[in-house]
Amino acid sequence: MSELASEEAVSPRLQEFQREVEDLKVTGGRANPERAWMIVGAIAMVAGVALTLIGWVSTGGTSNTGDFADFAAMARFGMALTIAGSALFTVMSLRRWFRFWLVRLVYELRDQADRVTGR
């Protein structure tokens, strides 16, 4: 509890408000959470491509079957990472774009409603 409750001069309504605020379930969420996921997606894409290339080059330079299998697995993991990163990046980009599009749609509808009602 903050020190507000201890203040004698605080009105009952304000005390009630403070209680309600204390009980609020707050996610701490920020605007555009997609941005962070877009960055994660981009990093995954780049890392995936790098792993795939390293795996591909390394498989060509080894005659040991065990090493070959390890490098091939690394390359496959890199490809999977690239695909997952690309998907994440695309989905989050679309979410950002649709959010902006929705805001614009709401404002246009409001504008249209104003014109209809003659405001």
- Footprint of other proteins (CB under 8 A): 2-4, 7, 9-11, 13-14, 16-18, 20-22, 24-32, 96, 99-100, 103, 110, 113, 117, 119
Q: How far apart are CA 53 and CA 79, in angstroms?
A: 9
What residue spans of the chain are helical by DSSP H? Answer: 12-23, 34-60, 65-117
Q: Least distance from C-beta 5 to other proteins, angstroms?
A: 9
Q: How far apart are CA 72 and CA 16, in angstroms?
A: 64
List the Cα angle 77/81/65 in 5-degree steps.
15
Q: Least distance from C-beta 49 to other proteins, angstroms?
A: 26
User: Do the Cβ atoms of 53 and 5 come closer than 8 Å?
Assistant: no
**Residue closer to other proteins (CB basis): 6 or 64:** 6
Among 115, 109, 52, residue whose Cα is nearest residue 85:
52
**Residue closer to other proteins (CB basis): 28 or 66:** 28
Q: Least distance from C-beta 40 to other proteins, angstroms?
A: 17
**Residue closer to other proteins (CB basis): 23 or 60:** 23
**Residue closer to other proteins (CB basis): 64 or 117:** 117
Mapping DSSP to helix (H, G, I), strand (E, B) and coil, where does residue 33 land? coil
Q: Least distance from C-beta 43 to other proteins, angstroms?
A: 20
